[in-house]
Structure 1
Amino acid sequence: MTGQGTGRAAGEIGSVAVEIRSVNHRGLRINLRMGDRLAALEGRLEQLIRGELNRGSLQVNVSFVPAAHNLAAPINSTLVLAYAQELHRLRESLMSDDPIDLAALLQLPGAIDTSDSGSADPETVWPLLRRAALAAIENLDQMRAVEGAAMVDAIRADCESIEQQRVRILELAPAVVEQYRERLEARVSQFLQGRGIDFGPLDLLREVQIFADRCDISEELTRLASHLRMFAETLVTGEAGGRKLDFIIQEMFRETNTIGSKSADARIAAAVVEIKCAIERMRELVQNIE
């Protein structure tokens, strides 16, 4: 399900911001972007997210801003002193009276240690990161809940449409056999006229029965109704989430395909097309249900 959530947490060591963007995905895929200073916490953060969310392709961005007192870069006093002593000897060798500029010394390589500037122990950052991540997940869930409610309404509307078309097919099916009997009787009568061939009512009945057995869709319609009921129940209970709904949809599509292949009636074929369209819409929507 699509959505976005943000969370922030602050403490003495600084502040952490977490942004989660989610797009549709059948499973759960997480892409973390945290920076090198928090890389040690990636596994722990991913485990936290997987414990809270089940589906979606997630882009998770994490930023850490150290507190002001952590930003001061330490001076390498030993190295600066060595630079000063070397410059003093050089000044004596050159018999120069130029003073040694402290600001210039601090610009020399290694004079200021920036390797840990703005860094913090990942273990001290984790409580802030956890709070920010849980806040972002909660924010994401709220946004997804709004979208989910609208999505469930759309799915239910499609279920109603399928049931309407199923009932229509159920009403049309008996007429298909009767129409076939009438067409067959007319064709046989026309063909046998003046040929002296005997084709009795039992022969006609036998052919109609074979046709009726071949195009009987009563079992498929019954199973389709059963799948619809199971789908509605699962949608309400949330049992097994979208995966179970996806399996039920596969069964619904299989029954609808069989109905379409057995039927030779244009009106039933049109109803089958409507059912397939509704099933495809539902298939796309249930990918977002957790």
Structure 2
Amino acid sequence: MPLGMTGFGRATAEFEGNSVTVEAKSYNNRFLKVSLRLPDALSNQELDLENLVRARLTRGSVYCAVTLGQAPMSGNYRLNLPLARRYYTELAALAQELKAAPPQISEIARLDGVVEALDSGGGQDDALVETVKKALGRALDELTLMRRKEGQALQTDLERRVKRVAEVAAEVDKRAPRIVLEYRDKLKSRLEQLLKGSGAALEDATLAREAALFADRCDITEETTRLRHHCSQFLKEIAGDGAVGRKLDFIAQEMLRESNTIGSKANDAELASAVVEMKSEIERIKEQVQNLE
């Protein structure tokens, strides 16, 4: 089942009395673009965390925000007093300007960089990193579930539209031979009117030749055959798993190309109307596949 590209996930994990919260959002994009917002304590983990996202998703604009709960004070932490004072001064001035309550010390302590982890010689705390990865994985699970539901709805709609295109293509195929016969009859009637009273006779060979030339110019057998094949291929691909958005986009473009060629050869009002319906459905198909991973 294909995935959509719109999703949201949120997860929280506990770490030594503290908490880690990850929010993940994704939107449409032709490619995969990953953006992370991390606290200072995790800035050196950006590449690893981005790779985790890329291992799970293949298309879309993905934004992940990691928030750490207030860290408990211990010998492994210190307070960045100059930064805390600067935060407080600027926020207090803003609060006075807006006639709002002054900031609380507990709120200042939650801001990035105010509480700093001391280097214990072992580098980044592995337990914290693993907790963040766990929360990120859960958030991506929720996001993927939402994308899967969107993909299911899109699949249902696209299958219905593609099947309709195939039905109309079959109707066009059925109508095409009658167009030549109708043209032959109309041509014969016109020529007989022109030759009436002249004493000249209408030659069957001439009529047959003109009808054959018309049939050759208006032959759409190859186009309708390819169009129906594209429809079958589309339905086969969308029923599979994995990222199929780009492939379906290509197939839809080929479907549109064939329908345009059929339209250029359509020398019949009924056929032209059928082509308009096909092209309308294919345009909607092209729009919808942009929402698939």
Do the two structures share a fold, i.e. TM-score over 0.5?
yes
Q: Distance in 1 between matches of 2:289 and 2:113?
A: 48
| Structure 1 letter corresponding to 2:218 | C
Q: Distance in 2 between matches of 1:221 and 1:115?
A: 62
Aligned 8 A contact 1:19 1:62 in 2: yes
Q: The residue matched to 1:68 in structure 2 has which SS?
A: coil
Q: In the alignment, what sits opposite 2:107?
A: none
Unpaired stretches in structure 2, ≥5 consecutive residues: 83-110, 118-122
Q: The residue matched to 2:10 in structure 1 has which SS?
A: strand
Find out whether 1:129 has 2:135 as its counterpart.
no
Q: 1:75 to 1:211 in 2, by over 3 A?
A: closer
1:69 to 50, 73, 79: 73
Task: Figure out how many residues of one structure are paired with residues of the other and give that number.
Answer: 253
Q: Distance in 2 between matches of 1:138 and 1:176?
A: 56
Point out the structure with max Rg over C-alpha: 1
Q: The residue matched to 1:289 in structure 2 has which SS?
A: coil
Bigger RCO (CA 8 Å, 6+ sep) = 2
Q: Distance in 2 between matches of 1:286 and 1:185?
A: 48
The CA deviation string for residues 236-277 of structure 1, in whole angstroms up to 9 with x for no partner, is 223652222222212211111111111111111111121112
| Structure 2 letter corresponding to 1:148 | G
Find out whether 1:159 has 2:165 as its counterpart.
no
Q: In the alignment, what sits opposite 1:119?
A: 116
Q: The residue matched to 1:44 in structure 2 has which SS?
A: helix
Aligned 8 A contact 1:6 1:19 in 2: yes
2:27 to 23, 27, 30: 23
Q: In the alignment, what sits opposite 1:277?
A: 280
Scaled by the length of structure 2, what TM-score is found?
0.78
| Structure 1 letter corresponding to 2:194 | F
Q: The residue matched to 1:119 in structure 2 has which SS?
A: strand
Q: The residue matched to 1:288 in structure 2 has which SS?
A: coil
Scaled by the length of structure 1, what TM-score is found?
0.79
Q: In the alignment, what sits opposite 2:42?
A: 38
Q: 1:174-213 residue pairs with structure 2 within 5 A?
A: 174-197=177-200, 199-213=202-216
Q: Distance in 1 between matches of 2:243 and 2:278?
A: 25
Q: Distance in 1 between matches of 2:29 and 2:51?
A: 18
Unpaired stretches in structure 1, ≥5 consecutive residues: 77-113
